[in-house]
Amino acid sequence: MMWSVLKNIFYKKNRKELKQETMKKFLIVGLGNIGEKYQNTRHNIGFKILDYIAEKEESTFETMKLGDICHFKCKGRLFVLLKPSTFMNLSGKAVAYWLQKENIPMENLLIITDDLNLPFGTLRLKTKGSDGGHNGLKNIQTVLQTHAYNRLRFGISNEFPQGNQVNYVLGEWSDIEMEKLTERMTQCHNIVKSFGTAGVQLTMNVYNGK
């Protein structure tokens, strides 16, 4: 009888500790396409931001199943950075796999993506929304079966001739854009850390539009 009571207490404690540990892990996914020809394109801003964060956090990516992975810690939180190797249109497969593998709850997922509907460098953190015609977000929504996941949109503007959208998003940054990217990526780094340590609502209040 006593052993049964102690065992229940032990298991309840373990479940509580496991839940607490799970809530301290965050999956940060940068969207992009693999391959050198895509490396400096506007569509790959998600990869570029994660590379910047990894460098600043002195972490290194390792090629693993469905993507490149690295980790860093901040204020007791573990951040798992993922660059999917599935190509943009199948990003959801990698996201779902690493959420499950790392046992990370949906509310601790953050997708970083480019957005044509925002002026260059504008940052918008949201907890849900439509895919906005973005194939990566569209696939993630299909695989996860929800549009209620956190996303950080990085504006790349829509200043291109009609019918030239594909060439624009797969084109490389202009010299003027390149001059401003470092400051914008620093802000993204701050947003990612705040997302994990202060929460999404407070982070939206502090950083959206800045």
Residues with a known catalytic role:
43
Distance CA 68, CA 82 (A): 6
Closest CA to 94 of 32, 155, 41: 32
Closest CA to 143 of 182, 89, 192, 196: 89
Side chain identity at residue 51, one-letter code: D
DSSP for the chain, please give it: -HHHHHHHHHHHHHHHHHHHHHTTEEEEEE----SGGGTTBGGGHHHHHHHHHHHHTT---EEETTEEEEEEEETTEEEEEEEESS-GGGHHHHHHHHHHHTT--GGGEEEEEEETTS-TT-EEEES----TT-HHHHHHHHHHT-S-SEEEEEE----S-TT-HHHHHTSBPPHHHHHHHHHHHHHHHHHHHHHHHT-HHHHHHHHTT-
**Six-digit token string for 149:** 């996941």
